[in-house]
């Protein structure tokens, strides 16, 4: 068998964002989309335009900026959905409409209340309607894995005849097993007469932890597109993880005999970017991009790796963009040019004004830390990248706490050039800090979640804080980084508030 190409269809911005609490700002979506393009993703599903005005504008923004990847928009088999999708991706150089309709008995009887004939008719008309506007049309029979086979074959044949160029086979509820899913793909190839006119795609959910296994089983049995997300985020337990699928194919080329266009060295950076945007921390034991993925604790393992890495590593850390450097990357005596070149080597290019701000912050950080690692630089730039659009900016913070004294914080914020100070106490320094910020901003965010982690090792490690807050029924993610965890906590909280202010101004 020849080495076929498998198309990678990323749905981080659409299905990934449907994970509870994973809402991303338009700026974050564009940043991730550009990184996905750099990664080599073939199709980027940018969103579901009809779902909200914000999603529509976000998809349109991505469509304007992406040059090489195909930009896809999702739509139900409803004319107004398809119209919105068409309009949203109009600026894209390469575009696709993805229409979907449930086909399993349980959905037909309880959700749609339609007959099989009505479903086929609706699917065909929707594909034909979308096809009038572009040639690249994907159709998904939702809950395909629980759809009766004869009906699945029938509707796929009908939509391909109507003009669908890709037919996606969703395991919408993560119910199927790898053996069964592979058999479904084989059954489609053997029983849909015109299947050679379309690409078969997989879209598997991880409710039973089988999304990647099912997707790869689909590839083995003839699927040539895989729908997946960075870090496997998505509805409920998530989607198939792109990094696991791609590295699985690459590492076991002898078995799969297929290839992708993905530049795997970008995985670690993009994984971190998505984690920060969604507030979902990547588990240390996560395959490929987890912090423990290439660490060895056992003495026997360490000895083996030192003698020959392949004894316990089936892939190199550098294959996924994990730095092998253990020494100082940059220090307080490093110049702007060296700083810029180091960022460039990490895949980060900033405009001059943003670079100047980041360099000043780097110098401050280098004065505080003995060693500055790549991870510190990435966290610093990501933190700085959100300062430009800040309504509120942290000017000064003084924190006093101890075993037998009430924690007290004095904080100064800048709002549109005006500086205001507030003193507050609380159950702890972070609580006191947030109370002071609430008083200064005259907002009362409800803190839903708070997480802190060290970016690198050592007592002087940069602290990376992520908060999830609710303001006027809107859930927002905020992030902040500093060697001082109270300062990092304040930055994260202010970041979430600034997102709320920005969204409020956008709606005016």
Each of the 508 residues of the chain gets a pLDDT tens digit; together they read 456 999 999 999 998 887 877 778 888 899 999 999 999 999 999 999 999 888 999 999 999 999 999 999 999 999 999 999 999 999 999 999 999 999 999 998 888 889 999 999 999 999 999 999 999 999 999 999 999 999 999 999 999 999 999 999 999 999 999 999 999 999 999 999 999 999 999 999 999 999 999 999 999 999 999 999 999 999 899 999 999 999 999 999 999 999 999 999 999 889 988 988 888 888 888 999 887 777 654 555 555 645 666 666 777 888 888 764 433 346 666 777 777 877 776 667 777 877 888 888 788 777 776 666 666 777 676 665 544 456 898 999 999 988 888 999 999 999 888 999 999 999 999 999 999 999 999 998 999 989 888 776 666 677 888 898 999 888 888 888 888 889 999 999 998 898 888 777 655 5
Instruction: Specify the residue for token string 């592979």.
Output: 182
Strand extents, DSSP E, 164-276: 166-171, 199-204, 225-228, 258-259
Radius of gyration of the chain (CA): 25
**pLDDT number for residue 238:** 94
- The tokens for 422 are 């507030």
**pLDDT number for residue 462:** 75
Q: Cα–Cα distance between 277 and 268 in angstroms, integer?
A: 14
DSSP 8-state code for residue 309: G
**pLDDT number for residue 326:** 37
Its pTM surpasses 0.85: no
Structural domains of the chain, with CATH: 4-278 (3.20.20.70), 294-324 (no CATH), 392-507 (3.30.160.270)
DSSP 8-state code for residue 10: E
DSSP 8-state code for residue 346: T
Residue 42, classified by CB atoms within 10 Å of its CB into exposed (0-12), middle (13-18) or buried (19+), is: buried
The full 3-state SS of 409-441, as one line of letters, equals EEEEEEECCEEEEEEEECCCHHHHHHHHHHHHH
**pLDDT number for residue 56:** 95
Q: Cα–Cα distance between 478 and 430 in angstroms, integer?
A: 15
**pLDDT number for residue 226:** 98
**pLDDT number for residue 328:** 38
Q: How many helices (H) and strands (E) does the chain have?
A: 17, 16
CA distances from 485 to 35, 54, 280, 327, 399 (A): 29, 33, 19, 24, 11
């Amino acid at each position: 068998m020849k080495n076929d190409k498998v198309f990678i269809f990323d749905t981080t911005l659409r299905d990934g964002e449907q994970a509870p609490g994973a809402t991303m700002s338009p700026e974050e979506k564009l940043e991730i989309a550009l990184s996905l393009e750099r990664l080599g993703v073939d199709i980027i599903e940018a969103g579901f335009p009809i779902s909200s005005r914000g999603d529509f504008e976000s998809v349109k923004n991505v469509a304007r900026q992406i040059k090489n990847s195909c930009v896809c928009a999702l739509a139900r088999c409803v004319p107004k959905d398809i119209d919105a999708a068409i309009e949203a991706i109009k600026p894209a150089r390469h575009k696709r409409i993805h229409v979907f309709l449930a086909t399993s008995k349980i959905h037909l009887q309880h959700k749609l209340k339609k007959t099989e004939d009505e479903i086929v008719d609706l699917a065909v008309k929707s594909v034909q309607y979308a096809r009038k506007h572009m040639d690249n049309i994907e159709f998904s029979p939702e809950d395909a894995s629980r759809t009766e086979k004869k009906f699945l074959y029938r509707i796929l044949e009908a939509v391909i005849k109507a003009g669908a160029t890709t037919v996606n086979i969703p395991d919408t509820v993560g119910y199927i097993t790898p053996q069964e899913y592979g058999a479904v793909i084989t059954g489609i190839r053997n029983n849909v007469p015109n299947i050679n006119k379309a690409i078969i795609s997989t879209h598997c959910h991880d409710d039973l932890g089988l999304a990647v296994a099912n997707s790869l089983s689909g590839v083995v049995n003839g699927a040539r597109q895989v729908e997946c997300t960075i870090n496997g985020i998505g509805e409920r337990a998530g989607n198939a993880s792109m990094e696991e699928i791609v590295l699985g194919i690459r590492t076991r080329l002898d078995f799969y005999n297929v290839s992708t266009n993905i530049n795997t060295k970008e995985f670690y950076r993009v994984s971190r970017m998505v984690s920060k945007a969604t507030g979902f921390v990547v588990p240390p034991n996560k395959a490929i991009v987890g912090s423990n993925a290439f660490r060895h604790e056992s003495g026997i393992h360490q000895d083996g790796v030192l003698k020959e890495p392949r004894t316990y590593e089936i892939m190199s850390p550098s294959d996924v963009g994990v730095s092998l450097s253990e020494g100082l990357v940059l220090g307080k005596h490093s110049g702007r040019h060296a700083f810029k070149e180091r960022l460039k080597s990490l895949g980060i290019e900033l405009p001059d004004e943003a670079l100047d701000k980041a360099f000043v912050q780097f110098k401050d950080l280098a004065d505080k830390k003995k060693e500055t690692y790549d991870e510190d630089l990435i966290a610093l730039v990501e933190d700085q990248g959100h300062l430009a659009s800040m309504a509120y900016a942290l000017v000064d913070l003084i924190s006093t706490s101890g075993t037998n004294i009430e924690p007290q914080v004095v904080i100064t914020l800048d709002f549109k050039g005006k500086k205001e100070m507030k003193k507050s106490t609380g159950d702890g320094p972070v609580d006191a800090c947030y109370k002071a910020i609430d008083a200064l901003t005259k907002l009362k965010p409800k803190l839903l979640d708070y997480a802190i982690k060290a970016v690198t090792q050592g007592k002087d490690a940069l602290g990376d804080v992520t908060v999830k807050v609710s303001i006027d029924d809107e859930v927002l993610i905020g992030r902040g980084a500093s060697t001082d965890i109270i300062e990092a906590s304040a930055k994260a909280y202010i970041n979430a508030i600034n997102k709320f202010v920005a969204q409020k101004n956008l709606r005016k």
